[in-house]
Amino acid sequence: MSCFAVGVVADTAGVSAESFIRQRLSPQPKELEIFDGWYVLNGDSAVHISASSPLSDSQKLAVADTFRRYWRLSPSLEFSEDAANADLGLEGSETEISSGGIKIRARDFAALRQALKTLRQFAEAERDGSGQVFALAKIRDFASMKFRGIHLCIFPETTLEDLEKYIRLSEYHKFNYVVIEPWGVFPFDSHPEFAFSDRKIDKKGFKKIIDYCHDVGITPIPQLSVLGHASQSRHLSGKHAVLAAHPELANIYEPIGWSYCMSSEKAEKIIKDLISELHEFFGNPPYFHIGCDEAYDMATCYKCRSQNPVSLFVGHLDKFRKFLLARGARTIIWHDMLLDREDPRWAGKIATGNQKTAEALGAFDKSIVIANWQYGDGKKVGDSIHRNISKWRDSTCSSAHGIPMPEF
């Protein structure tokens, strides 16, 4: 992870209030009308909230906590039900800010959370008081995508403060999933040797961040590589988290140690132990990311070389797909090993597989979610990959194993 700062000098001459407000909204709401005037929200205010069905007591408490967390305010919250709100769309809401107060119509609790995040972006601290100032407005919004995710790595040099910062930014910008990938730093109880002994993160501090995700409507998804990156290093020449201290475990890896051996029953058992522990630690989410990217040395040991590489690769994926399905989770993998790097169609794009691994694309179970990662302009670089993978995916599965396909 890295961060940078950009300095901006604002030229405010002739710029409308609406322009300033829109600059703060991310993503932009579907409809926004801004009127002359302001409303000040303070502890004496009343906020009217309706949902299509009754909110639970815990959800009402969470709404009150959101006002305290965002603004240190405890306005009176008036809740009601309106069945017509069900037509507002996915996570849909309508918010009216008038001189008389704030009214929010939300489809459900998830929609209400997003409406409050928009209000957070909309608000300005009162100059001569402790309230929050809102321009008078009407806001209509709904989600364009069910699955709005971001991928974060915890490297040995990453601090929990870094991770928390990016989680909070994800909340602010309305992501609802975050994939978190620890690189040799998670202190496993089942196999403590699978982390750098001097780089382990504080488990209690990490759990607080995971709990925070759940509290604010973000589903944290663990990632554990089950093929390449088995050394927990970023490069082939990097220090190996396991073998540097435990060379006796060399038989669960390919000869150079970068990938797990797909023929090793011992490797399979250990990986399943690690998956179970991470999945439980993250709150048993409905997805689990098993990586499978950049497995340059896959199937290179004497035992793997004697087998059909396509069958071996597909079988390896299926073992963990079935294991995760039994835990109530759907499998996510990276795309790059499914593309032949010699295929001219992928020139300039991330493709690390070969002709054999590319054959696996049509062979493994269609409930597996393929995540396309690219450096640079993701839309420009990844469009052709996404189209080809989507044709295969959409033609074969809309609800494999009863688990709905995410909308990307």
Give the sign of the dihedral formed by CA 25, CA 31, CA 36, CA 39.
Answer: negative
**Residue 6: band (very low, low, confident or very high) from pLDDT cuts 50, 70, 90:** very low
Instruction: Supply the pLDDT for residue 405.
Output: 29
**Residue 92: band (very low, low, confident or very high) from pLDDT cuts 50, 70, 90:** very high
Average pLDDT over residues 68-74: 96
pLDDT at 363 over 60: yes
SS3 per residue for the chain: CCCCCCCCCCCCCCCCHHHHHHHHCCCCCCEEEEEEEEEEECCCCEEEEEECCCCCHHHHHHHHHHHHHHHCCCCEEEEEECHHHHHHCCCCEEEEEECCEEEEEECCHHHHHHHHHHHHHHCEECCCCCCEEEEEEEEEECCCCCCCEEEEEECCCCCHHHHHHHHHHHHHCCCCEEEEEECCCCCCCCCCCCCCCCCCCCHHHHHHHHHHHHHCCCEEEEECCCCCCCCCCCCCCCCCCCCCCCHHHHHHECCCCCCECCCCHHHHHHHHHHHHHHHHHCCCCCEEECCCCCCCCCCCCHHHHCCCHHHHHHHHHHHHHHHHHHCCCEEEEECHHHCECCCHHHCCCCCCECHHHHHHHHCCCCCCEEECCCCCCHHHHHHHHHHHHHHHHHCCCCCHHHCCCCCC
CATH (residue range 149-402): 3.20.20.80
For the chain, percent of residues with pLDDT exceeding 90: 80
Instruction: Supply the pLDDT for residue 237.
Output: 67
Domain limits, CATH 3.30.379.10, in the chain = 18-141
pLDDT at 407 over 60: no
Instruction: Supply the pLDDT for residue 233.
Output: 83
Average pLDDT over residues 314-321: 97
Q: Closest by alpha carbon to 218, among 163, 260, 268, 261?
A: 163
**Residue 18: band (very low, low, confident or very high) from pLDDT cuts 50, 70, 90:** confident
Instruction: Supply the pLDDT for residue 380.
Output: 54
**Residue 7: band (very low, low, confident or very high) from pLDDT cuts 50, 70, 90:** very low
Average pLDDT over residues 159-188: 96
What confidence tens digit (pLDDT) does each residue in 34-67 have?
999 999 999 999 999 999 999 999 999 999 999 9
Across-strand partners of 47? 77, 102
Average confidence score pLDDT of the chain? 89
pLDDT at 8 over 60: no
Instruction: Supply the pLDDT for residue 308.
Output: 93
CATH (residue range 18-141): 3.30.379.10
**Residue 2: band (very low, low, confident or very high) from pLDDT cuts 50, 70, 90:** very low
What confidence tens digit (pLDDT) does each residue in 269-310 have?
999 999 999 999 999 999 999 999 999 999 999 999 999 999
Look at 382 and 376; give whichever has higher pLDDT: 376
**Residue 85: band (very low, low, confident or very high) from pLDDT cuts 50, 70, 90:** very high
**Residue 162: band (very low, low, confident or very high) from pLDDT cuts 50, 70, 90:** very high
Instruction: Supply the pLDDT for residue 238.
Output: 80
pLDDT at 12 over 70: no
- Coil, helix or strand for 32? strand
Domain limits, CATH 3.20.20.80, in the chain = 149-402
**Residue 235: band (very low, low, confident or very high) from pLDDT cuts 50, 70, 90:** confident
Instruction: Supply the pLDDT for residue 134.
Output: 96
**Residue 362: band (very low, low, confident or very high) from pLDDT cuts 50, 70, 90:** confident
pLDDT at 406 over 50: no
Average pLDDT over residues 140-168: 95
